[in-house]
Amino acid sequence: MTRVSQSLSLKPKGPKAFLRRHVTKKRSLIAVILSFAFLFLCGVTGAAGHMADKMILYMHVARLYARDPDTTLAMPLKDVKKSQIANTWGAPRGEGRAHEGQDIFAPKGTPVLSATTGYLVKIGEDNLGGHVVSVIGDGGRKYYYAHLDSFAPNLEVGDYVTRKTVLGYVGTTGNADGTPPHLHFGIYTTTGAINPLPLLVDRPQEKPIALKPEPAKKKRR
Ligand SMILES: [Zn+2]
């Protein structure tokens, strides 16, 4: 056995071996040319570029699944306090449906901030939610923001968001039509919806900046 593996590990010599090495070189050259052609096509068509973007997003999201989920979530509406939310988790919503989230009421047009860091996986519409945004955060949790009046400008699927990112604005789209404007905030884990309320934490009140007189400039020496 030892002798066989030894003889196998030896570098082949002679014209045949030279030919084999030459073929391998040729093959890697073809691979390089094909990669360049692919990249060139990406640049020209943009289609493959879109595919590449999707691949990158999948990779980001896969990495998020490996992390522990957030233990606290920032209030999506800056000036609303947790104590102002009436707990409606699990409340009946007709047709045997239960409320899978919390409703946070605020005037139409109030900015909706991301409660977590993560990647934007959906900006679009659905029947119940109207204009909706979905963000995947740590632990692969999906955060669902619904009934938005409109989306934040320049937002794209695949964008990385933080707790300071504006996702959209409070509205009454979807089945919230005719109700007071509110954000429906939902959390979906890999095993189903969970109540967002125990995890929500008030955002710190922004202190007004005290205007100080500018100090006199010191002369440079
Ligand atoms: Zn709701």
The arithmetic mean of pLDDT across residues 199-212, rounded, is 82
The percent of residues above 70 in pLDDT, for the chain, comes to 76
**Strand bridging mode 73-74 / 200-201:** parallel
Dihedral angle of Cα 74, 78, 80, 82, to the nearest 10 degrees:
10
**Distance of CA 101 from the midpoint of ligand 1 (Å):** 6
Measure the CA–CA gap between 69 and 7, rounded to whole angstroms: 53
64 contact partners, CB below 8 Å, separation of at least 6: 118, 119, 136, 137, 138, 139, 140
The percent of residues above 90 in pLDDT, for the chain, comes to 64
The arithmetic mean of pLDDT across residues 192-199, rounded, is 97
The arithmetic mean of pLDDT across residues 121-135, rounded, is 97
**Distance of CA 186 from the midpoint of ligand 1 (Å):** 8
Asked if the model's pLDDT at residue 2 lies above 50, the reply is no
**Distance of CA 182 from the midpoint of ligand 1 (Å):** 8
Per-residue model confidence (pLDDT) at position 19: 60
74, β-bridge pairs: 201
- Looking at per-residue pLDDT, the higher value among 95 and 6 belongs to 95
- Output the average pLDDT for the chain: 86
**Distance of CA 92 from the midpoint of ligand 1 (Å):** 11
Query: Are the C-beta atoms of residues 151 and 123 closer than 8 Å to each other?
Result: yes
**Distance of CA 147 from the midpoint of ligand 1 (Å):** 9
**Distance of CA 33 from the midpoint of ligand 1 (Å):** 54
Per-residue model confidence (pLDDT) at position 64: 94
- Looking at per-residue pLDDT, the higher value among 18 and 128 belongs to 128
Query: How much is the pTM?
Result: 0.73
User: Tens digit of pLDDT for each residue in 15-62?
Assistant: 666 666 666 677 777 777 766 666 666 565 667 788 888 899 999 999
Q: What are phi and psi of 3, to 5 degrees?
A: -65, -40
